[in-house]
Copies of this chain bind each other. A is one copy, B any other.
Amino acid sequence: MYCILVYDINEKRVTKVLKKCREYLNWIQNSVFEGYLTKAQVIDLGASLDKIINEEEDSIVIFKLQSDKYITKEIKGIDKSDLTSNFV
């Protein structure tokens, strides 16, 4: 499925979260990732992030769509991602 992940993490843990997200997703811009994951990968990533974050201080939101066919993406200014996305 197509995922957009955004995080707001205490700086003590942000490097670990960034590294973990990079294993699964494409970086778009500061604290935002996107990419295609299987259900198993979503579960794996979620479990890994659960081990890193402090639930009292940190926040992660994962938007999940079955397909990117319903979404369009508008970019203003710099496109910071390296991704050559197929649905811009």
Question: Residues on A close to B: CB < 8 A?
Answer: 4, 6-8, 28-32, 46, 49-50, 53-67, 70-80
Copies in the complex: 2
Which of A73, A77, A79 is the most central at the interface, judged by chain B CB atoms within 10 Å of its CB? Answer: A77
Contact present for B74 and A61 (CB under 8 Å): yes
> Nearest-CB distance from A12 to chain B (Å)?
14
Bound: A65/B70 CA distance, A: 6
Closest residue on chain B to residue A29 by CB atoms: B8
Closest residue on chain B to residue A72 by CB atoms: B64
| Inter-chain pairs besides A29-B59, A64-B71, 18 sampled, C-beta below 8 Å | A6-B6, A7-B29, A8-B29, A8-B32, A8-B80, A29-B61, A31-B32, A50-B76, A58-B76, A58-B78, A59-B75, A59-B77, A61-B74, A61-B76, A64-B74, A65-B72, A67-B70, A70-B70
